[in-house]
Amino acid sequence: MKGNTAGKLEKILSSDGFAITAECGPPRGADAQVIRNKAQVLNGYVDAVNVTDNQTAIVRMSSIAACAHLMAMGLEPIMQMVTRDRNRIALQSDILGAYSLGIQNILCLSGDHQTFGSHPEALNVFDIDSMNLVRMVLDMREEGRDMSGFDLKKPPRMFIGAAANPFADPFEYRVIRLAKKIDAGADFIQTQCVYNMDRFKDWIRMAREEGLTEKVHILAGVTPLKSEGMARYMARRVAGMDVPEPLIKRMGGVPKKKAAEEGVKICLETIAEVREIKDVHGIHIMAIEWEEIVGEIVETAGLMPRPTLKS
């Protein structure tokens, strides 16, 4: 693995540590305090905070700005960047700007389609795809050039992440796509939420057989369920999500008041199981609008204290 950015996330991963990241969605407004409050509850429990970029195509405070607020509080951000809203000029410009602010990590995504969001009448961009974005960030770091081939003065050196969904169709293709992302330059991979453990293990096995797990750090995505309704909604409505029926039943099998507790329990079992898989190097906790539970999960999972590397 090439790399050698200045971030803590890369340091932990490259020293065989088990990394913990959590998702943080910026607010639908300009109040930095919302970010600070979320940061407060995450501080100390995670190694880096993954900041979404207008997730589900809903207009929110920009990922870059929210990352800056997190850094001011001493947290290391992972800036998500989607190709939906910016062409290659804007993407590169924002990456330069983000790095100038001290942002060390990027997660390259294509982004949820705008028809699912608050502005279905918007024009999407998709000038390049997430694979191209990964390569662009890599070329900036390794070649010191922008996409046009121009030599950048002080090129950004970012730790590059990409997403993978082991549960989407067509399954056979999922590992090929992973291989392409790694070739394009991904240093770490964040997966879709793991509920179907059998399929996840299958995917890891296939990746291992292709020699991919040695080339990249895989972080397993986990999302604590809050209720049976949420489980069912994710199973039915959220594209690319695989929530097996027995799990939904399990959520429904406890009294409503205890459902969230059960969800956390399931999450902890998932974490325990993925920690047993040697090719998984960390977890990414997506506690959607439930950041306050992250600390409890990390603590109960026995993942405290977090390494105190200087970033």
Partner 1 sequence: MIVGEQKSIEEIKKIVSPYKKVLILGCGTCVKTCFAGGEDEVAVLASALRLAFKKDGRQIEVEEFTVERQCEDEFVQESAEAIDRNESVLSLACGAGVQAIARRYEETPVLPGVNTTFLGVLEKHGLFTEECSGCGDCQLAVFGSVCPYTRCAKKLLNGPCGGSREGKCEVDPETDCAWNLIIHRLKMLGQLNNLRVYIPPKNWSGSGSCGPRKLIRKDHIL
What are the residues binding partner 1 (CB under 8 A)?
Answer: 84, 88, 110-111, 113, 115-116, 124, 126-132, 135-136, 147, 163-165, 167-170, 173, 176-177, 179-180, 183-184, 192, 239-240
Whole-angstrom distance, CA of residue 162 vs CA of residue 160: 7
Closest approach of Cβ 30 to partner 1, in Å? 29
For the record, the structure tokens of 253 come out as: 């099998």
Closest approach of Cβ 238 to partner 1, in Å? 9
Three-state DSSP string of 33-85: HHHHHHHHHHCCCCCEEEECCCHHHCCCCCHHHHHHHHHHCCCCEEEEEECCC
Closest approach of Cβ 214 to partner 1, in Å? 18
Q: Which is nearer to partner 1, 71 or 193 (CB)?
A: 193
Q: List phi, psi (to 5°) of 128.
A: -130, 165
Three-state DSSP string of 253-309: CCCHHHHHHHHHHHHHHHHHHHHCCCCEEEEEECCCCCCHHHHHHHHHCCCCCCCCC
For 150, counting Cβ atoms within 10 Å of its Cβ (0-12 exposed, 13-18 middle, 19+ buried), the class is: exposed
Q: List phi, psi (to 5°) of 64.
A: -60, -50
Q: Which is nearer to partner 1, 239 or 272 (CB)?
A: 239
Closest approach of Cβ 219 to partner 1, in Å? 15
The three-class DSSP label of residue 238 is coil
Closest approach of Cβ 269 to partner 1, in Å? 24
Q: Which is nearer to partner 1, 181 or 250 (CB)?
A: 181
Q: Which is nearer to partner 1, 126 or 290 (CB)?
A: 126
For the record, the structure tokens of 281 come out as: 């190097």
Q: Which is nearer to partner 1, 132 or 227 (CB)?
A: 132
Closest approach of Cβ 177 to partner 1, in Å? 4
Closest approach of Cβ 267 to partner 1, in Å? 20
Q: Which is nearer to partner 1, 135 or 281 (CB)?
A: 135
Q: Which is nearer to partner 1, 62 or 110 (CB)?
A: 110
Q: Which is nearer to partner 1, 29 or 240 (CB)?
A: 240
Rg of the chain (C-alpha set)? 19
The alpha carbon dihedral of 157, 159, 163, 164 has a sign of positive
Q: Which is nearer to partner 1, 193 or 285 (CB)?
A: 193
Spatial CB neighbours of 233, under 8 Å, sequence gap ≥ 6: none
Farthest-apart Cα atoms in the chain, separation: 61
The three-class DSSP label of residue 231 is helix
Closest approach of Cβ 39 to partner 1, in Å? 28
Closest approach of Cβ 106 to partner 1, in Å? 17
The three-class DSSP label of residue 190 is strand
